[in-house]
Amino acid sequence: MVAAKPERSVGKLDRIKCLNALHLKIIACALMLCDHIWLSLMEGHVWMTCVGRLAFPIFAFQIAEGFCRTHDFKKYFLRMLIFALVSEIPFNLMNGGAPIYLMHQNVMFTFCLALLCMYALEKAKEKGTGIFILSSLGVLAVSFVVGAFSMVDYGGYGIWMVLLFYFTRDIRFGWLIQLVGMIYINGFMIGGESFPIQLFSRTFYFPEQTFAVLALLILWLYNGKPGPKNKKIQYACYAFYPAHMLILALIALALRQ
């Protein structure tokens, strides 16, 4: 069992940290909905997917936080796995137009793999710093390969984003490492289609996924508090993922007929 980590200490900048975990969930869900509306119904509105790029890093951050705070890893992992299975058909309908679409698996599976990686790293940490460092390198390599071959959403890069927040949690200058890591993963490794942006009479081209880095501006406002502890709210946030995809897929199907 993974021991729950202590609450974050109160610092001088806490007065501007106005977002709790529930706020982050709501913001991430809204951003994800924007991206999925673009994907399924409004592909001509590119700005929607650019805005939607901010959703995944917020969810990735929350997975790392949830892992570090949970008192029962097995229960947490099982809940994530159940919702991954429940979400797969709605995800397939939205992305592939059919109940079975083997070329792409939903993001809940990405987070399940990330949870297993963090669990393994916690076990390695108990054996000393040297073992932890070597294990971290091994986990990064294996997770990238597994993420790519399993074809989960965001692949190995998605797992790495979760691990980035895990490694930088409560360390000095963690925010700077997050910034560099997010720019490298999203801007150089994932990239995607580039969009021209006019600045000072010059045109700069930014890969679509680079917009994900802006999620850090939201995450840095996190105050370390969970928000209202309510099981209904908790499960509603989980259920939103498969529910909204199913609704969007059905609307898209109706519009095509």
Q: Kindly report the pTM of this predicted structure.
A: 0.89
Give tens-digit pLDDT for 208-237. 899 999 999 999 999 999 888 888 888 999
Euclidean distance between CA atoms 90 and 242, whole angstroms: 6
CB neighbour burial string for 221-253, b if at least 16 within 10 angstroms, e if fewer: bbbbeeeeeeeeebeebbebbbebbbebbeebe
Eight-class DSSP state of 16: G
Q: How many CB atoms lie within 10 A of CB 133?
A: 12
Distance CA 139, CA 114 (A): 10
Domains of the chain, by residue range, sit at 15-256
State the Cα–Cα distance between residues 66 and 236, nearest whole angstrom.
Answer: 16
**What is residue 17's predicted lDDT score, i.e. its pLDDT?**
86
Per-residue pLDDT, 44: 78
Q: Which residue stretches of the chain have pLDDT < 50?
A: 1, 7, 9-10
The per-residue pLDDT for 16 is 81
Q: What is the pLDDT of residue 256?
A: 82
CB 222 within 8 A of CB 13: no
Q: Give me the phi and psi of 125, to 5 degrees please.
A: -60, -30
Residues 58 and 215: beta-carbon distance below 8 Å: yes
Name which of 172, 224, 210, 230 is nearest 68 in CA terms.
Answer: 224
Question: Looking up tokens 């951050």, which residue turns up?
Answer: 61
Residue with tokens 């890591």: 181
Residue identified by tokens 């029962």 is: 72
User: Six-digit token pair at 39?
Assistant: 């994907």
pLDDT in the model for residue 14: 61
